[in-house]
Amino acid sequence: MQDGVVVVRRREPVVAILALAIFLVCQGVDAQTRFMYLNGQSIHPAYEGWWPNDDGSFTLWFGYMNSNWEEEFDVPVGPDNYFAFAESQALNDLEIDAIVPSDIDQGQPEHFYPRRNPFLFTVRVPAEFGGQELVWTLTTHGRKNRVFASLRADYRMDPQVMSTEVGGAFGSLDDRLRENLPPHLEVKGASRRSVRVGESLHLVAFAEDPDDFPPRSDRGRPPETLEELYSTRGVGSSVVSSAPGLRLSWIVFRGPAEQVNFQPEQLKAWIDSRAWANSPWSPPYILPEPPQDNTWLTDVTFQEPGNYVLRAVASDGSHFSYENVTVEVND
């Protein structure tokens, strides 16, 4: 245990429970103790909120919370990972499924990274969506979790809400964030490509911040002691923040990520608040300057054949833009 955080790695149930009980008694764990699970937990889909579009349609934002700090999942679109349009409260009972083949794929991920992955994708619904719900069902480790997206007024959001949810601009509540523009992102080349196992695929992505807001800023002086580091944003902290500034990362959106190798190593796009974690939310991380001409060059190789979807994620720390590349990998 460190700083009130108990790290748990799932083992055989009886052994794990006995070992944990002995540990807690010996350590004198109190009500402030937090558990940090490395594996064995499930994923909860997340509905982030909605906003209206000029044409009368609505954009619904989704993400997820993987309760594990290490374990990743691959869940293909299907009975364990599907969307359904339903009348309000019609799918409140988890025993009820409503799998309509034309509706189940709404562009959701099939590969799931650890921890919180907010505002990861959107679904656009028409003006006549009305009082319906768009329901995302996700089953991992045998546990079914479900989230209900609707146009309820308390779910309406704007870019400032997005920024505060991800700790953007060091958690700023600046009203100017309400008008913050997402980065402009352009991936050069075809959106569908093919490559052989072990063969390098070159990715070129251009990104810029059209309003240069929030302005780039570093965290300042890095902490000098472990006590100083963990006193503000230590392991398991419930308060995250990241520095404002343009960044871009490639992630595996669909397909087994362990079979994919990016060079250079990519900045994490999921919220990893542990110290020195190669993450914008990780103290004492200093955000790199954008490359020359705002063009990110990346090489990727695949170790197994199959179909993969890679996603470029551009952010100014408060808002996000995405673009996918589908890759067919052959022997």
Residue 82 sits in the same domain as residue 209: no
DSSP-derived letter for residue 49 is E
Query: What are 272-307's pLDDT values in tens digits?
Result: 988 889 999 987 788 999 998 999 999 999 999 999
| Domain co-membership, 249 together with 147 | no
Q: Is the N-terminal amide bond of 283 cis, ω within 30° of 0?
A: no
193 shares a domain with 310: yes
Quick check: is 164 in a domain? no
Same-domain check for residues 211 and 226: yes
Q: Are residues 198 and 309 in the same domain?
A: yes
pTM to 2 decimals?
0.87
Range of the domain at 266: 181-330
Question: Strands 320-330 and 133-140: what pairing?
Answer: unpaired
Residue 252 and residue 205 share a domain? yes
pLDDT at 248: 98
User: Can you list the alpha helix ranges (DSSP code H) found in the chain?
Assistant: 13-27, 159-165, 226-233
- Does residue 187 sit in the same domain as residue 293? yes
Backbone CA torsion sign across 225, 227, 230, 235: positive
Residue 161 domain-assigned (yes or no): no
Indicate whether 100 belongs to any domain.
yes
Question: Is 165 part of any domain?
Answer: no
Kindly state whether residues 195 and 323 are assigned to the same domain.
Answer: yes
Predicted local confidence at residue 247, as pLDDT: 97
- Same domain, yes or no, for 303 and 193? yes
Between CA 224 and CA 241, with CA 226 as vertex, the angle to 5 degrees is: 85
Question: What's the structural domain count of the chain?
Answer: 3
CA–CA separation, 246 vs 319, rounded Å? 10
Same domain, 189 and 283: yes
Could you tell me what percent of the chain has a pLDDT over 70? 84
Closest CA to 246 of 203, 279, 272, 214: 214
187 and 326 both lie in a single domain: yes
In a domain, 119, yes or no: yes
Confidence of residue 33 (pLDDT cuts 50, 70, 90): low
pLDDT in tens, 54-68: 999 999 999 999 999
Q: What is the pLDDT of residue 28?
A: 52
Out of 155, 171, 194, a domain closes at 155
* 77 and 122 housed in the same domain: yes
Average pLDDT over residues 174-192: 97
